[in-house]
Structure 1
Amino acid sequence: MVLTTFTNGRFFVDSPQGGIFLSSLSVRDGKIVDGPLQGAHEVDLGGRLALPAFVDAHCHLLPLGESLDKVDLTGCTSLAHILQRLEAHNQTHPDAVRILAKNWIQGMTEPREIDRASLDTLDKPVYIESYDLHSSLLNSAALAELAIDADGRTPDPPGGKIVRDADGRATGWMQELAHLNVVAGFLQKQTTTEEKRRAIENAFAALLGAGYTAVGDLLMEEDAFAILTSLEQEQGRLPVRVRAYWHVEPKPDLAESLKAIDRAKELQERRKGSEYLQVVGIKLVSDGVIDSCTASLLAPYRDGSNAEPIWPLDRLTAAVQRADELGLQCAIHAIGDLSVHNAVEALASLGRERIVARRHRIEHLELSTAADVQKLGSLGITTSVQPVHADPALLDNWYNQLGGPHADRCCNRAFAYRDFLEAGAPIAIGTDAPTAPFPPLPNLHIATTRRSARDPQLDTRTTPQFALPLVAAVAAATQGAARACHVEHLQGSFAAGCSADFNVVDIDLFSPENEGKQMLLKAKVAQTFVQGKPV
């Protein structure tokens, strides 16, 4: 039996009265226990702040691991800058079959400046992933190996779009399921199992190094799940607990989509009892993103266009009801206010009791009406949000697509986290990595200040009226995220019986002398403990 008492700390505990702090923590064989322990080894934390280990309520493990080796376009401001980085990578990786890049944002270049022809200066297929993972840019060689006709004769896949120019020719811009299924699907087939395994291991190392000990993987598929299962069988555990949400695609025949829900149930039953890997629910992507005008809105975009929901309400409701009947949690991607409304209505068909029991959740909620927020709060729908997407340094194009930063619906209803809190909705914070940086403290900086973590000198704040209090934000990134992912009995708080997973932070974020000093950008996770042991 291993007995440890951590003393001289400030262990954060969320409570109805706000944050309270324990001075010590008793641990027996990796689990938190109440009261003092006789004969325990003592570890002095030197008066430092300790937070429950973070849970990333919304991330994508395999893409995160793969992204660590891609050309990072963050900070590029022109086509020339993008080409320079791609060419530099090509020079240092001459044997690579393809050039894979990440973090393209439309505002990096002038509209229409970048297309397949502008990327044809590279001598091999080029695949550039957008920062939100909902689209990609390809050169002609990449289109060719995907068997997509450059003259525009290849039809759009269901739920996706091959963007064409005024003459009907493919520009190389692949949106939504044209990216997720066609492009990403092709690239996955070119990646060996060993490469995927290494990517997942790299993702685990990066997440654990940042202070996470559990994640919700929100787009799980067969290959990644098989690798995770194999890793757990070989090692007896995983470095980070994983709760998987099975991706259910909107097939033309609804019955085919429902088969994927049945598959999720099969895997849920197979993995029952595992601490480290379980299937807890399904993921339904009901719309796209605002930057590409593929999120579904109640009013049109600035150019008069709009996007039809990927999952129309009747089919969304049928899928939600089937999953709920099977005991599966639903996680619905909904960014535009129409999609948020549809998600609320589909879940409302279940009633509050079933919603709360399953922890049904809506992801992102970048635009929402006050009426829908009140309804989701009264129903107990979990709001799963990623403050990194509200970074004002990223939102120029986002605002522009909606009509500018002073358009009423942008100014008044964007990323309405405080509204969710006051309506009584449970909040879970994640990052959506690799669509955004995953370090937890900068994420909380944006949630609580609505200021930029990418560009701290930027004066702009994103709808500051919706900033979360620090206590609520920390709780949402720990206990709230744990609850959303069904691991709150294992971690997310300092409750007796939980694993002693926690982070020691080098700055006391709750000290009155640090209030208003943007300490979340300065603070670091100094040490992470898993089951009471440093990692």
Structure 2
Amino acid sequence: MSTLFYNGRFFQSGSKGENHGFAECVLADGAGTITHVGSPSDPQIAEAEAAGVTKHDMKGHVVLPGFIDGHMHLLMMGQSLQKCDLDRCSNLEDIRRAIKEFAARNPSAKRILCKGWMHSMTDGQALASMIDDLDPRPIFIDSKDLHSTWCNTAALAEMGVQDMPNPEGGEIHRDVNGKASGLLSEAAVVTLVWAHLATAASMEERLSAIKGAVEAYNAVGYTGLIEMAMDENAWEALQILRQRETPPIRFAVHWLITPSKTEAENLAQVDRAIELNRQFSADTDPDCRPL
């Protein structure tokens, strides 16, 4: 049976953004495909009503097309919803208090994950020693722009970075004695921190994070997402989720090519992206495909 949404202000626009306007009603078929947009006096509406329709009174509300986030990180978004938010902190004292309270509320968490830190909050400093006494568990603090991660000593040890060289395009910041001091930046965040946390998370934790991200986007009107740095860990979890259920959102993904020291390693990553693009194409899997 068709469905008629009426008494609303349904935004519509041309394919190039021209001819903005509002329709009064929308008619959809039994599969949920919109078949007509217009006025209650249109003959298509009269025909549908004669055949029998389910009606929904929109009570004058504005109805918009689904939004698409053109630059996001699916797994990280889901994980960030579960992190300690430092956004309202102003200084080191505020940050320490927030982390300590979060840690006390989450005694079973294996790691303390935080977000929203800005270098200006700590006068440009990000030393492990500034947070080591807060909790014995590894602490990972994302900068607001996601280009830096501030870690305590336990987090540095868990990643094993003390004797590790800087990755291509990134830096493990060190003190005058060459010891990792607590800050990782740029490609070191992507190739070391993100990769470590992605693999350290269990499959169920990854699935929970992705579901949480999808639910958060759906709640505010998003119907499409473009992932800008998809990797094997997040891709595996996403495919398992899609086997279990049909997420109410579409995914397009850009495959992450991490900087490597050899051309062969870089090309192998490109080949993987090409392989997935062929396997999950617009024709074979339009709801989830690498671009």
Structure-2-length-normalised TM-score: 0.88
Shift of 1:165: 4.1
Contact 1:135–1:180 at 8 Å: present in 2 too?
A: no
Residue in 1 that maps onto 2:280:
271
Q: Distance in 1 between the 2:278 and 2:173 partners? A: 41
Q: Pick closer, same or farther for the CA change 1:17–1:126 going to 2, 3 Å.
A: closer
User: Is residue 2:122 matched to residue 1:118?
Assistant: no
Match of 2:79 among 47, 66, 70: 66
* Contact 1:157/1:177, CA 8 A, preserved across alignment: yes
Q: Percent identity?
A: 35
Alignment map for 1:385-424 (pairs within 5 Å): none
Match of 1:139 in 2: 152
The residue that corresponds to 1:20 in the other structure is: 21
Paired residues for 1:4-15 under 5 Å: 4-15=3-14
Counterpart in 1 of 2:169? 159
State the alpha-carbon separation in 2 of the partners of residues 155 and 249 from structure 1.
Answer: 16
Q: Could you tell me whether the CA contact under 8 Å between 1:138 and 1:173 is conserved in 2?
A: yes
More relative contact order in 1 or in 2 (CA 8 Å, sep 6+)? 1
Q: Map 1:133-532 onto structure 2 (within 5 A).
A: 133-149=146-162, 154-165=164-175, 168-235=178-245, 237-272=246-281, 273-280=284-291
Q: Is the Cα contact below 8 Å between 1:229 and 1:277 reproduced in 2? A: no
Q: Which has the larger radius of gyration?
A: 2
Shift of residue 89 of structure 1? 1.7
Distance 1:202 1:138, change over 3 A: same
Q: What is the alpha-carbon distance in structure 1 between the residues aligned to residue 205 and residue 115 of structure 2? A: 18
Find the aligned partners of 1:233 and 1:90 in 2 and give their Cα distance: 34
> Following TM superposition, by how much is the alpha carbon of 1:101 offset from its aligned partner in structure 2, in angstroms?
0.8
Q: Which moved more, 1:78-87 or 1:27-36?
A: 27-36
Distance, in Å, in 1 between the alignment partners of 2:252 and 2:178 is 43
- Deviation for aligned residue 1:156: 1.1
AA aligned to 2:181 is T
Q: Deviations over 1:310-359 (max 9, x none)?
A: xxxxxxxxxxxxxxxxxxxxxxxxxxxxxxxxxxxxxxxxxxxxxxxxxx
Letter in 2 for 1:132: D
The runs of 5 or more residues in structure 2 that have no matched partner are 37-43
Q: Which runs of 5+ in 1 are unaligned?
A: 281-535
Q: Is the 8 A contact 1:127 1:137 kept in 2?
A: yes
CA displacement at 1:166 relative to structure 2: 5.2
Letter in 2 for 1:279: P
The DSSP-based 3-state class of the residue aligned with 2:64 is: strand
Residue deviations 1:286-327 (CA, integer Å, cap 9, x gap): xxxxxxxxxxxxxxxxxxxxxxxxxxxxxxxxxxxxxxxxxx
In 1, Cα distance between equivalents of 2:206 and 2:148: 21
Alignment length (residue pairs): 274
Retained in 2: the 8 A contact 1:218–1:245?
yes
Cα pair distance change 1:124/1:228, threshold 3 Å: closer
Structure 2 Cα separation of the partners of residues 60 and 111 of structure 1: 26
Query: Residue by residue, what CA displacement relative to the aligned partner does 1:107-166 show, whole Å, maximum 9, x if unpaired?
Result: 222222x411111112232111112222100112221222222xxx64211111112345
Cα distance in 1 between the residues matched to 2:268 and 2:124: 41
What is the letter of the counterpart of residue 65 of structure 2?
P
Looking at structure 1, the residues matched to 62 and 107 of structure 2 have their Cα atoms a distance apart, in angstroms, of: 48
Cα RMSD, aligned residues only: 1.8
Taking the aligned partners of 1:157 and 1:17, their CA distance within structure 2 comes to 47
8 Å Cα contact 1:4-1:28 kept in structure 2: yes
Matched, 1:32 2:49: no
Q: What does 1:40-119 align with in structure 2 at a 5 Å threshold?
A: 40-112=53-125, 114-119=126-131
Q: For the residues of structure 2 that align with 1:138 and 1:27, how far apart are their CA atoms?
A: 52
SS of residue in 2 equivalent to 1:52? coil
Change in CA separation of 1:55 and 1:3 when aligned onto 2, cut-off 3 Å: same
**1:28 partner letter:** D
Could you give the per-residue CA deviations for residues 54-107 of structure 1, whole angstroms, max 9, x where no partner exists?
111111111111111111111100101100011112222234332111111112
Amino acid corresponding to residue 45 of structure 1 in structure 2? M
